[in-house]
Structure 1
Amino acid sequence: MKPSTPRSEGRVVIIGAGIAGLATAVLLAEEGSSVTIVEKNSTVGGRAGSLEDPATPGFRWDTGPSWYLMPEAYDNFYALAGTSTEDQLELVNLEPGYRVFPEGAAHFDVSSDPATLAELFENIEPGAGKKLEAYLAKAGEIYAVSVENFLYTTFSNLRPFLGLGSIGAGIDLLKNLLASLSQHVSSQFTDVRLRQILTYPAVFLSSRPEDTPALYQLMSYTDLVQGVKYPLGGFTAVVESLHKLAKQRGVEILFETSCVAIHTQDGAGRTQATGIHVESNGQREMIPADVVVSTADMHFTETELLPRELQSYPEKWWTHRNPGISTVLVMIGVKGELPQLSHHNLMFSHDWTPDFDAVFEPSVRSTNPGNASTGHANTGHAGTGHASTTNINRSASIYISKPSESDPTVAPEGHSNLFVLVPVAADPALGHGNIYAETASDPVQAIADAAITQIAEWAGIDDLHQRIIACHTIGPADFEDRYHSWLGGALGPAHTLWQSAFLRGKNRSTKVNNLLYAGGTTVPGVGVPMCLISAENVLKRMRGDGSTSALGTQ
């Protein structure tokens, strides 16, 4: 029997106090539900965490998201919560949007000003300026269609999609789904630097350009047209805002409380979620609920919290799924300022195919899982955790954020705060960082050391190593341990063709009534804006709303 629509009142229990969990709690409490969140860790935020080290007072690092994109997703969420982005966050426009360090070539800044950006493209490749204008115009059209039809929907009603537009528009949409982002960009631009600027956003979708549908050229619209913003206080400020709104609405949060099972009950031919079993301080209890919303990793929810017969997505379903990327994160405190770096920085290998192969190709991962897109470490066979550093000097495609460029609260005066993201294979065997363990694993430490060396060499900071006064790391095993992340993934399943839109999975169980999902591992996808939208889609599901537009814009 088809699951019924859960009602939008009564008692709701939410698993996880990350971005999606807090946002869902805010909207459901605003709707009139009594909401309790259970969180296995001792703080809110989940992957959007915060780190301070008493040994280096004045430094604070975000340990997760760092790019503020899709501002309307925040605007819409806060409006639904009865407030506004302006009241909750202090945003700074970043100009340039970011700095690019191509291997073997001079660095350059990528502006959010269309005319300046077109001039940059034209100077690098004659004729590319006009091509970029057309490319971004198309990206804007696709973005508008996606926001209107594919993001704010539960795909519970396919009727709205039947009138999506003309036959020509449908064919155009199909072409952008079947072609890869890499193919699409390469057909229009020749210079490798320009191709990389337009295809690297695939990484933010936990994917690689060759596997990402060309539809996602819309990502270039978000950073190159809408521009890049930064919330003062970092994404910790976003988390604190959501936490405050939740508390104001009476949401109860139980910390250091792990969900160990979803409680179900049979009746009237249906299986109903009636609460969750939790463990805290060695004690086990059942928390009753009318609705259960899991914002935990969907793989964990389905395969660990439900019995086999009630799993909509059993282990077999995940066999051919792409887990996306994991990361080694490096948080660094540096004495003195670093004018060589902008707020956001991207370092691109001239040939980055081996970088992506080491993250996404099973044949490469199985024999060299520590390549980590950089070749910095080799753990031998998957799961052994035995490290060597035979390829430690290979260059990498990495991301560096320097929030101290824009935010005086994240580093002592006259010092710099760096956050480095190195994409790696989704493989917990790579090990832990040193934040939650006494020492980092050999592969994680090797990757961090090589990334620091690369930054010093490519950005021309000869004394970087000598000026570091704090260095903290996070590895794939940390994502697995702290967030029950499938295979230690950092973001969520990759946005390939078969893992996008309605093919990504439903935001409700097909076998258990009143069990709903939110977060980066369900629809609409990965990233903070998507998590905010996933919270709204839970509200839509509970209202029985099958529309495709954002609530409040209909």
Structure 2
Amino acid sequence: MTKTISIIGSGFSSLAASCYLAQQGNKVIIYEKNPTIGGRARQFKKDGFTFDMGPSWYWMPDVFERFFQDFNKKPSDYYELVKLNPAYRVYFGINDFISIYDNLAAIKNTFEEIEKGSGQKLETFINQAKSNYDIAIKDLVYRPGVSPLELITKETALKLNQFLGNVSADIRKKFKNKKLIQILEFPVLFLGAKPTKTPSFYNFMNYADFGLGTWHPKTGMFDVIRGIEKLALELGVTIKTNSPIEKIIVEGKTATGIVINGEIIKSDIILSGADYQHTETLLEKEHRAYSDNYWESRIFAPSSLLFFIGFNKKIENISHHALFFDTDFDQHAIDIYDKPKWPKEPLFYANFPSKTDLTCAPDGMETGFFLIPLAPGIEDNQSLREEYFEKIITRFEQLTQQEIRNNIIFKESFCKNDFVQDYNAYKGNAYGMANTLLQTAFLRPKLKSKKVRNLYFTGQLTVPGPGVPPALISGKLAAELIQKSLRS
């Protein structure tokens, strides 16, 4: 029997879930508060320049392949991928950078040149990371986080010590060079927590980095959003933008509809891909599963200060992805997680997609995207944004040995206040809830409401966690729970 399913939000998890639910023959309608789809993965265009506003790293291509395979499709049916070489570059000082190339053999050679004996250690480390990847990404993350027993398998039992240790300590036992340590610690930042707080098992992110490589959809990450949107429409999904949800209607502890612009829209099932905490504010207090104290006690992934910049010339001495680790890595982490404040000398990331995609900037020009990770809930105002732009652009010019400040055509910023306004993000977080040991799997907010029947959740604050591949998986998991309830 066909059910009407209303989905709140149009990010990766919502779009993915819509495809699975429509495939089962349901009437699926997505409601997006903003004028365009994509959630945090929206696209921004100005004066001939194109920007991905959120995710810019395409990692774990196998997860995308598995998603499309579920519909007898391939990613190439919807978008084209380019493997980046170098994958990225890490700057430590003037004329002091390390390029990470597109194959493990080349990366081993780079490590060996910097620290004798580290090449073979790296191979051993990545082999272990691959083993963890095969357990985690091919199996564990596709479990719905309903029971702790989901984590107990023959494979995980053999790796118990890796859930008790942490990534940072594990890396430092094997490698001594500070630069190599920081490069190896970097991938777990995608999980939203300090390497010292991330279980050793999560070194599978290093295999995602060095083993599977860094890819780029030909004309940007929004290609993937467009691709999944096209699949959803092919399956019969309806998508409505400019549709902010004002309330979730609950009758007799059962969700029965939503309110948009004063209009009641009846639904058999409601699935929210919006911020979990915000979604619960759409309910009366007695129907909320998690209290204000609960959310306050969680460890959230960082917020970010972003700059979208159009340059009137080509930028030199830079790669598509570039990390600037020329200041104190550990101190910046303290300023995010331990003693939240604006970092005195922040690490930052720069992305120049026009190095790969010539369509995202006018001829002879460059599209630039800069990001500074910040503590969620931090003060945000225009004066601080400008102060920190001056900090990073000065360092960028020094480290890449060129002047670019006078070549800026325009600069748009996006920070904590914008994450709150545009995405209803709790404390303006950019990446959801961190994947620490006590915020993993069944210890995360549930996909299925504990208090309201027919209300479900998906996305980065629930199972399995932050990142684009986990968002696709979260959509699948939520859809499977809904399908199971409809069959029972």
TM more than 0.5: yes
Q: Structure 1 unaligned segments of length 5 or more: list them.
A: 1-7, 376-393, 432-440, 546-554
Determine the structure 2 residue equivalent to 1:170.
157
Determine the structure 1 residue equivalent to 2:373.
423
Whether 1:452 and 2:393 are equivalent positions in the alignment is yes
Task: For 2:55, give the aligned amino acid.
Answer: P
Q: Structure 2 unaligned segments of length 5 or more: list them.
A: none
Whether 1:309 and 2:249 are equivalent positions in the alignment is no
Whether 1:50 and 2:43 are equivalent positions in the alignment is yes
SS in structure 2 of the partner of residue 61 of structure 1: strand
Whether 1:41 and 2:34 are equivalent positions in the alignment is yes
Distance in 1 (CA, whole Å) between partners of 2:417 and 2:204 is: 32
Residue by residue over 1:367-419, the C-alpha shift from the partner in whole angstroms, topping out at 9 and shown as x without a partner, is xx3x1x3x2xxxxxxxxxxxxxxxxxx3x311111111110110111111111
| Runs of 4+, deviation exceeding 3 Å | 156-162
Whether 1:182 and 2:168 are equivalent positions in the alignment is yes
Distance in 2 (CA, whole Å) between partners of 1:287 and 1:454 is: 52
Distance in 2 (CA, whole Å) between partners of 1:417 and 1:265 is: 50
Whether 1:487 and 2:437 are equivalent positions in the alignment is no
Distance in 1 (CA, whole Å) between partners of 2:247 and 2:477 is: 24
Distance in 2 (CA, whole Å) between partners of 1:104 and 1:459 is: 7
Displacement of 1:467 in angstroms is 1.4
Task: For 1:15, give the aligned amino acid.
Answer: I
Determine the structure 2 residue equivalent to 1:507.
447
Whether 1:124 and 2:114 are equivalent positions in the alignment is yes
SS in structure 2 of the partner of residue 107 of structure 1: strand
Displacement of 1:350 in angstroms is 4.7
Determine the structure 1 residue equivalent to 2:216.
230
Whether 1:276 and 2:217 are equivalent positions in the alignment is no
Distance in 1 (CA, whole Å) between partners of 2:467 and 2:104 is: 25
Identity %: 32
Whether 1:61 and 2:51 are equivalent positions in the alignment is yes
Determine the structure 2 residue equivalent to 1:31.
24
Deviates more, 1:251-260 or 1:188-197: 251-260
SS in structure 2 of the partner of residue 286 of structure 1: strand
Whether 1:331 and 2:308 are equivalent positions in the alignment is yes
Determine the structure 2 residue equivalent to 1:384.
none
Displacement of 1:104 in angstroms is 5.9
TM-score by length of 1: 0.85
SS in structure 2 of the partner of residue 319 of structure 1: helix
Determine the structure 2 residue equivalent to 1:411.
361
Distance in 2 (CA, whole Å) between partners of 1:127 and 1:134 is: 12
Structure 2 residue aligned with 1:16, among 3, 9, 16?
Answer: 9
Displacement of 1:335 in angstroms is 2.0
Distance in 1 (CA, whole Å) between partners of 2:94 and 2:331 is: 17
Q: Is the 8 A contact 2:162 2:199 kept in 1?
A: yes
SS in structure 2 of the partner of residue 219 of structure 1: helix
Distance in 1 (CA, whole Å) between partners of 2:69 and 2:218 is: 20
Residue by residue over 1:92-151, the C-alpha shift from the partner in whole angstroms, topping out at 9 and shown as x without a partner, is 011111111013661121112111111111111111111100110000000111123321
Residue correspondences, number: 485
Structure 2 residue aligned with 1:202, among 176, 179, 188?
Answer: 188
Displacement of 1:181 in angstroms is 1.2
Task: For 1:14, give the aligned amino acid.
Answer: I
Distance in 2 (CA, whole Å) between partners of 1:155 and 1:427 is: 28
Which aligned pairs between 1:75-224 and structure 2 lie closer than 5 A?
A: 75-103=65-93, 106-156=96-146, 161-162=151-152, 164-165=153-154, 170-172=157-159, 174-224=160-210
TM-score by length of 2: 0.96
Distance in 2 (CA, whole Å) between partners of 1:499 and 1:536 is: 20
Distance in 2 (CA, whole Å) between partners of 1:450 and 1:100 is: 18
Which aligned pairs between 1:325-364 and structure 2 lie closer than 5 A?
A: 325-361=302-338, 364=339
Cα distance change of structure 1 residues 154 and 9 upon mapping to structure 2, 3 Å threshold: farther
Task: For 1:170, give the aligned amino acid.
Answer: A
SS in structure 2 of the partner of residue 221 of structure 1: helix
Determine the structure 2 residue equivalent to 1:550.
none
Task: For 2:285, give the aligned amino acid.
Answer: R
Q: Is the 8 A contact 1:104 1:350 kept in 2?
A: no
Task: For 1:128, give the aligned amino acid.
Answer: S
Greater fraction of residues in helix: 2
